[in-house]
Structure 1
Amino acid sequence: MTQHQNTGNGPALPGRRVFLRGAVAGTAAAAGLGMSGAWAGSAAAAPGGFPDYRHLKPLLTPSQLKYNPTGEIIFPCIRGVYDRLSSPLGRYYLYYAPHDAPGGICLAYGDSLEGPFTEYPANPLVTNDWQPHYKVSHVSSPHVLWNEDVRELWLYFHGENHTTRLARSKDGITFTYDRTVLTKDMLPAGTNETSYARVFRHDLPARGARYVMLFMVNNQSNHRDIGWGWSADGRVWSFAQQPLIRHSDVGVNNLSGPHLLTRGGSAYVVYHTGKENGGNMLISEVGNDFSRRAHLGVFYDSGSAAPENGRAASPSFGTDRGVPYMVYEAGERLAGSLAVARA
């Protein structure tokens, strides 16, 4: 399973479709899509040839979990560990968290991306009180990166909403605190949220970087955008002072949950909108050097029926035995489940 790339070219199936909308003709031509008009339906026209995902089933529901302090969970991160850890609990580790206080970084494990997943009995792995490093109201939004250089699982998580931290683990269960990697003070004055970060192995030679971070950024306007940064080692970061993708670029109120995908020699960012703007996942092409801005429209169209109820968010991608999957939040924010979609 890849960390930052969705592999596989599964057949197009009925269900959720990938659409391109609002793309000018020049953007479509530059993307090699050869289309015209405002819409181009079906997976065959998906930017970069990404699979067409369809909802399969819920994987984790708060009411079925032993550790369930607030009745909600968010922000799944799926990682294949069968070829990386010596004695894993399962082939796949699924990290997640409640958001509201006290939160807590949690783990479930299973042998298939279609489930079932078993809750780790000693959750949470990381709490909101980790002395002497911090004591905060909550910790949440776990993103775990396999760092091949040191053969460790690196956990990026937030707490409070304006601070992102790093912890490291040899087994994916016991973590050692490393450092703070992002705060609001690293961005322009007035920034008040820098959270929901995901980190990817992605070379930016011109910046001397081997890792890219994507995250949600908010300020006094209370409209959330996608920010980004770069790092040589995944620990010490530089951050762009302007958003990578603005809410106004795609005509919505808020953006969050960004994930990097690469294919066909280019890089793309998938992210979600608020339910008031359709609750769908959108996609923008940023190019391998992050200099491109091609906003290509709807990547995944959330269904109106349960469990999605008009909102799909915070995707994490993986491949299981050659089949691409997407694990994501399904349902209203803080009132849904973690679900899986299959190509």
Structure 2
Amino acid sequence: MSASNTFDFTNPSTFILLGIPGLEVAHVWISIPFCTMYVIVILGNFTILFIVKRDPSLHEPMYYFLCMLAVTDLVLSTSTLPKILAIFWFNSRKIDFSACFSQLYFIHCFSAIESGIFGVMAFDRYVAICHPLRHSTILTNRMVVKIGLAVVLRGSMLALPFPFLVRQWPYCRTNIIPHTHCEHMYVVKLACADTRVSSYYGLFVLFCEIGLDVFFIVVSYTQILRAIFSLSTKDARLKTFGTCSSHLCVILAFYMPTLFSSLTTRFGHNLPRHFHVFIGNVYLLVPPMLNPIIYGARAKPIRDRLLQLFSHKGTKIFLWCSRFETYVHADLAGDMVLGRLP
């Protein structure tokens, strides 16, 4: 490679996102489920935030953490989906050098925050089931704020080295990223330098983000299961376990594709490239879509408030239509009396 070409890519002004390599012809069709999922993410998570804010009875630690999860999902999906849809619909593949690294930071930052929130929610369930009388004294509003700030600070600090490490590498090969977004390892592979530091740090963050949080979740739910099986009746065991089932579902929906995507990116070299890209999008899109659906279906207080909201709106619409119909009939009757109608 000539010196001039090397210089051109040492500090590229833009990267080129290919989308899903090999499936460019089907981008428009693939955009339909992607767009549908994004609409569900927006509507579902804003609904959760609206219901919790409006109902004072839901101002409890569990629902505060659920609101944190909703905000995290909104930021995580919005950091990638608009650009992905622009690629699919308008073939807008260019992304600014700094914007690419910003996107990379937001993905890792809010993925770490979401993982931390799941760990905190597991602790909340542990205290609520194993120490119900002390729940309100342990998880006070002040403690919830401290825990939330700690989770956000941890995610922000863990993700901070990613853009700085990636920015320092010289990019003398190409500026084409065969992905729908600026995925860390795909950007690192473009550099023409020894990038083992970035790779090792990525594994370290994976251990801190998934390994420690999953360990904490497993310990919490081990204690929860011990408490559940110690209950005297089967109905009590099922009812208590039902309060944790929604949390377990969202945990599996987040950690399984996240772990699978991280490992296949590093070690699954024999897998088709479009498969890597699909899995890389699954853990960014599916959990933010499923979280409000699962909690809306399983969390009875939220489901009841949502039904009340829709029934109240439906009643208001019905009353407005009835009142409008009454006015119409009254006008027609007046016209008939005045002889304006036959």
Q: Higher relative CO (CA 8 A, sep ≥ 6), structure 1 or 2?
A: 2
Q: What TM-score do you get using the length of structure 2 for normalisation?
A: 0.23
Q: What TM-score do you get using the length of structure 1 for normalisation?
A: 0.23
Name which one, 1 or 2, has greater alpha-carbon Rg.
2
